[in-house]
Amino acid sequence: MPALPSFDYAVIRIVPRVEREEFINAGVILFCAVKDFLGAKVHLDEARLRAIDPAIDPSEVRAHLEAISRICLGGPDAGPIGRLPRKERWHWLVAPKSTILQCSPVHSGLCEDPAAALERVFDRMVR
């Protein structure tokens, strides 16, 4: 029986005030080189966001989350980062940052279908 392809994923976190180290999970980015897949699924829970920072503008946060999805898809609508090869976009997206949007450490798994794996991880970590 052939081995299942491996994938890597990171959870997208919203960290409104970095100094407080509070965050909410708002999405997942998943990369599977063998299947040539890079995808993201995002969801902004505005009530939870306002609970940890009442002054934050959810529309700005949503715009940044949507940019992550565009970068994963690639192409001219994703700006200069979206023109990079998938693997380079993955590394750029999950690189450590000290901004309002950060990624968890990278985790790995095995799957036959990366899109289905993205849904499973999103359900477990965000929903």
pLDDT tens across the length of the chain (127 residues): 679 999 999 999 999 988 888 999 999 999 999 999 999 999 999 999 999 999 999 999 999 999 999 999 999 899 999 999 999 999 999 999 888 999 999 999 999 999 999 999 999 999 9
Tell the residue number behind the tokens 């990079």, with chain if given: 84
Q: Is 3 helix (H, G, I), strand (E, B) or coil?
A: coil
Query: What is the model's pLDDT at position 21?
Result: 87
pLDDT at 19: 86
Q: How many CB atoms lie within 10 A of CB 9?
A: 25
Domain boundaries, the chain: 6-125
CB neighbours (10 Å) of residue 99? 8
pTM, two decimal places:
0.95
- β-strand 6-14 against 107-110: which pairing, if any? antiparallel
CB contact set of 108 (below 8 Å; sequence gap of 6+)? 6, 7, 8, 9
